[in-house]
Amino acid sequence: MIQSNYQLIAYSNGEVIWNSGIVTGSESQFIRYDGAELVSRQQVNWNLSVTTVDETGIQETAHSEFARFEMGLLHPADWQAKWIEPESEIDIEDRKPAPYLRRTLEVKPGLKQARIYQTAHGLYEFWINGHTGTEDKFKPGLTSYYARIQIQAYDITKLLKEGSNAWAVMLGDGWWRGMTGGTVKNNFGYKLHYFGQIELTYENGEREVIGTDERFKYATGGMLASDMLMGDIFDARKEFVDWKLAVFDDNSWMNVHCTTEHADVRLIASSSVPVREKEQFTAQPFRDAAGQLVLDFGQNIAGYVKMKLKNCKAGQKIRLVHGEDLKDGCFSLDNIKHGVLQSSEFQEVIYYCSGNAEEEYCPLFSIFGFRYVLVEGYNEDINEGDFTAIAVYSDMEETGSFICSNLLINKLVLNSFWSQKGNFMDVPVDCPTRERNAWTGDAQIYVRTAADFMNVYSFFEKWLKDLSLEQYASGKVGITFPSTSSVHNPVELERNIKDNPLWALAGPSGNGSIGEDSAGWGDAAVWIPYMIYLCYGDKQILVNQYETARKWVDYMLACAKEHNPLYEQESQYLNYEEGELDADYIFDTKMHFGEWLEPITKEDTGESVAEAIIRMRTHGNPRVATAYMCRSAENVAHMAQILGNQEDCTKYKKIADKIRKVYDRYLIGDDGVIEPGHQAAYVRVLAMDLCSEEKRESVVKQLLKEIENNNYRLNTGFLSTPFLLHVLVDYGYSEIAFRILEQTENPSWLHAVLLGSTTILENWDGMDRHHGSYNHYSYGAVCDFLFSRVAGITPLFEAPGYREFELRPIIGGTLTHAEASYECPYGTIRSRWKKTKNGLIYECSVPVNTRARVYLPDGQCISVGSGDYRFSVGA
């Protein structure tokens, strides 16, 4: 069946504002509204008709239900709100109580609709007459706060009543002045602010606008401190009763004042995928080896615990500490608690009881990475439902699933998915515990797999815009976004350097963490939009990101032209071609994280972190940095071609070819040797096509030798791990790929699975070494190999977004069956194979409006349109 035409009609105020007309063809994605410009608050209803024709020529037309959207406030003039600042004098070193804000407002008879538009410096939660009417958490989300901040809009019509109503707000430190996204407090600012506007529209057409101003009252209550990473201190005895209701007497509360601090920052409609409470887990209580009460939730998540307490005395102190590990049988934070963290409080909730027979607490503004919770100060029996862990993350549509006959691989897939959930909270962070920084490298490594598991288009679209906003004029791209205090807050940078000289290495224009830029990290600027285009097919992401990508490549090329005195005697600095020095195409300057956490190097060096950083800064990393410069130049050339920019396409293609030639000549030995003892060096070259035809076979041989020497265990680090198995399959060694995939000895993906991990670990050390974070998603990137090679579902650049795709399953290892399903923009793709006595059965489903090329293991290739298929392949 295929679509023969569509028609889209949009209405506003009962009138047609856009009619696409009947458009012939099978186009069914990314059709953009093309009517008159929409104005603030405009409500639009739209529906769609689609006509399909089947193989027998029968036509059928279907009409969608109406969908609707409403425009936000588009212009500064729409706002009557002022930014309000509750706090006056504050101590910037201290943790501070959460501001409680409130005012009442009168609603006249005949209310037709009501909206609230709002944001905050910090996090906000709001209540209208005690109800929020939304499940969205961690608002307003994280953006480059000094450049743009998001406004959320909610329909509050049903929460209001005629007469007096209460508008109550609580503020939390959040990313703004919290510790998340670095190791210091006050990441963006020192004071919390709120900005909001309620608009009441009456049946008679009157619109009443109530903006935040001095009429808001302020107090502090039970929430004595709330930081996303450090956690909460809450004294239930100090909490106001009914402060969210109109009847509350706020006479003793103080007045807020208005502020212009950061008030000129651009307000934008929220483009975050809302963060929501998702799965819940019940506690299994036990005593650890030290006799402490510990709750095991069975799954490592990012979220918080909702607790119900009984029979506690007023003022009784309950302490919950959230961690991932049990070391020597005892609850432990050793693997995640940072040496340079500016606080002793870490992932904990301190709750002073009210003394009521039953009481409940659940954090509003803090989020922790944990599987275990240490409970102190509570001695009652714990029943089911008393302590519930709630996973909290960006609520993206789940799109992919994979299972096969190896149960450990199935668990690996679940672990990877959980690490994605645990780290995709408005921005993609490295881990939900220690740093919680949105590291570019981790995200670029994992983006393909992320898109297998969930629809990540909007999630990355938003984050990439911040990446572009923070790109330096030179084209340099930092290592974390939105970058935190080192960039924005010179006072904090100064303080960091004083406290820990390591920070000085960040250099004068540091960007939120150690180091300034890094190949493989900054390349997120290129690779992420490129992969998002491949997976979703929307050119808009390339339109948005092209200039950023191109400038990053130009920056790398400029760095390559700088000389590194360490290498100046080597032949690349002596040879010229067409008037250009060969060394100009080798990126041998700057600091790079390289094959970060490559198992082999860590053991041997005995270097301190500071020494390692100094070495990295002086030596550069020509093999890694030049490889990424080449890949990104190639990607930019392709992006330019897609966008119709032939001139750039030719230019960057030529640059990529030149880098390739120089790489082959100076960085790969004639015998194919690149860096003995490092699989990564060979994987990188083969994955990025950096060697000449003449050396290719020897490079492959070297890789096989390295793998054999390491007893079929991997020893790749962050950057090359995702390519290892792909490369082996591409060069005809799928059995070796499966052997490494199914390996359970360390280093391997399944080692941690065997030891009971429920997420992906940061290090190859395994859980038995109690080292590093247990929830670091990047090594989970192997899951793309499962979706795209083992199940064989592969998108194609010629027809991106799975408009056309390949189904090319690879059968190997101990697997007797494997299957995956993927919800692409057109519908569900299924791919399933099962070994039988006589060979193999392969089944697949191809959605309407797509085509697939099916490559069967016996060498047959069949092109199919939408439908369900079954093939029997002989042994």
Which parts of this chain interact with ligand BGC (CB under 6 A)?
430-431, 435, 439, 441-442, 593, 596, 776
Q: Which residues contact 586 (CB under 8 A, 6 or more apart)?
A: 560, 572, 622, 626, 662, 663, 666, 667
- Select 546 or 593, whichever has its Cβ closest to ligand BGC: 593
Question: CB 762 → ligand BGC: shortest distance, Å?
Answer: 6
Please say whether the beta carbons of 545 and 525 come within 8 A: yes
Q: Could you write out the DSSP letters of every residue in 356-414?
A: -SEEEE--SS--EEEEEEEEES--S---TTSEEEEEEEE-PPB-EEEEES-HHHHHHHH
- Select 430 or 706, whichever has its Cβ closest to ligand BGC: 430
- Select 658 or 776, whichever has its Cβ closest to ligand BGC: 776
- Select 531 or 624, whichever has its Cβ closest to ligand BGC: 624
Query: What does the alpha-carbon distance between residue 826 and residue 847 come to, in Å, rounded to a whole number?
Result: 6
Dihedral sign of CA atoms 442, 443, 444, 448 in order: positive
Q: Could you write out the DSSP letters of every residue in 801-832?
A: TTTEEEE-----TT-SEEEEEEEETTEEEEEE
Query: What does the alpha-carbon distance between residue 449 and residue 820 come to, in Å, rounded to a whole number?
Result: 13
Please say whether the beta carbons of 533 and 539 come within 8 A: yes
Query: What does the alpha-carbon distance between residue 152 and residue 392 come to, in Å, rounded to a whole number?
Result: 19
Question: CB 81 → ligand BGC: shortest distance, Å?
Answer: 38
Q: How large is the angle between the packed helices 524-536 and 540-561, nearest 10 degrees?
A: 150
Query: What does the alpha-carbon distance between residue 563 and residue 70 come to, in Å, rounded to a whole number?
Result: 55
- Select 278 or 337, whichever has its Cβ closest to ligand BGC: 337
Nearest 5°: the CA angle 91, 93, 96 is 60
H-helix segments, 668-733: 679-687, 693-709, 721-730
How many CA atoms lie within 13 Å of 619's alpha carbon, on the beta-carbon side?
Answer: 12
Question: CB 409 → ligand BGC: shortest distance, Å?
Answer: 24
Question: CB 785 → ligand BGC: shortest distance, Å?
Answer: 21
Which secondary-structure segment (H or E) carries 424?
Answer: strand 424-425
Going from the C-alpha of 627 to that of each of 380, 408, 467, 665, 721, the distances in angstroms are 60, 33, 22, 13, 15
| φ, ψ at 30 (rounded to 5°) | 55, 40
- Select 521 or 738, whichever has its Cβ closest to ligand BGC: 521
- Select 476 or 550, whichever has its Cβ closest to ligand BGC: 476
Q: Could you write out the DSSP letters of every residue in 751-818?
A: HHHHTT-SS--SSTT-GGGT-S-S--GGGGGGHHHIIIIIS-EEE-TTSTTTTEEEE-----TT-SEE
- Select 439 or 527, whichever has its Cβ closest to ligand BGC: 439
- Select 190 or 481, whichever has its Cβ closest to ligand BGC: 481
Question: CB 375 → ligand BGC: shortest distance, Å?
Answer: 28
Q: Which residues contact 296 (CB under 8 A, 6 or more apart)?
A: 283, 284, 285, 286, 371, 372
Nearest 5°: the CA angle 790, 853, 738 is 15
Question: CB 460 → ligand BGC: shortest distance, Å?
Answer: 17
- Select 441 or 795, whichever has its Cβ closest to ligand BGC: 441
Query: Is residue 14 left, alpha or beta, with left meaning phi > 0 and alpha meaning psi from -120 to 50?
Result: left
Question: CB 334 → ligand BGC: shortest distance, Å?
Answer: 16
Question: CB 594 → ligand BGC: shortest distance, Å?
Answer: 9
- Select 156 or 752, whichever has its Cβ closest to ligand BGC: 752
Question: CB 122 → ligand BGC: shortest distance, Å?
Answer: 25
Query: What does the alpha-carbon distance between residue 488 and residue 510 come to, in Å, rounded to a whole number?
Result: 10
Query: Coil, strand, or helix at residue 548?
Result: helix
Q: Which residue has the tokens 């299994």?
A: 284
- Select 145 or 593, whichever has its Cβ closest to ligand BGC: 593
Residue 647's CB is within 10 A of a number of other CB atoms, namely: 8
Q: Which residues contact 256 (CB under 8 A, 6 or more apart)?
A: 84, 85, 86, 101, 214, 216, 217, 218
| φ, ψ at 365 (rounded to 5°) | -125, 10
Query: What does the alpha-carbon distance between residue 64 and residue 49 come to, in Å, rounded to a whole number?
Result: 6
Please say whether the beta carbons of 226 and 366 come within 8 A: yes
DSSP state of 225: E
Question: CB 524 → ligand BGC: shortest distance, Å?
Answer: 11
Q: Which residues contact 613 (CB under 8 A, 6 or more apart)?
A: 502, 505, 514, 515, 591
Q: Is the bond preceding residue 747 a cis peptide, omega within 30 degrees?
A: yes
- Select 395 or 466, whichever has its Cβ closest to ligand BGC: 466
Question: CB 118 → ligand BGC: shortest distance, Å?
Answer: 33
Question: CB 631 → ligand BGC: shortest distance, Å?
Answer: 18
| CB-based burial label for 563 (10 Å; 0-12, 13-18, 19+) | middle
Please say whether the beta carbons of 425 and 454 come within 8 A: no
- Select 783 or 873, whichever has its Cβ closest to ligand BGC: 783
Residue 681's CB is within 10 A of a number of other CB atoms, namely: 26
Question: CB 431 → ligand BGC: shortest distance, Å?
Answer: 6
Question: CB 776 → ligand BGC: shortest distance, Å?
Answer: 6
- Select 512 or 800, whichever has its Cβ closest to ligand BGC: 512
- Select 297 or 596, whichever has its Cβ closest to ligand BGC: 596
Length of the chain: 875
Question: CB 778 → ligand BGC: shortest distance, Å?
Answer: 6
- Select 423 or 702, whichever has its Cβ closest to ligand BGC: 423
Q: Which pair of tokens denotes residue 685?
A: 């070259």
- Select 138 or 439, whichever has its Cβ closest to ligand BGC: 439
Question: CB 514 → ligand BGC: shortest distance, Å?
Answer: 8
Question: CB 736 → ligand BGC: shortest distance, Å?
Answer: 28
Question: CB 534 → ligand BGC: shortest distance, Å?
Answer: 23
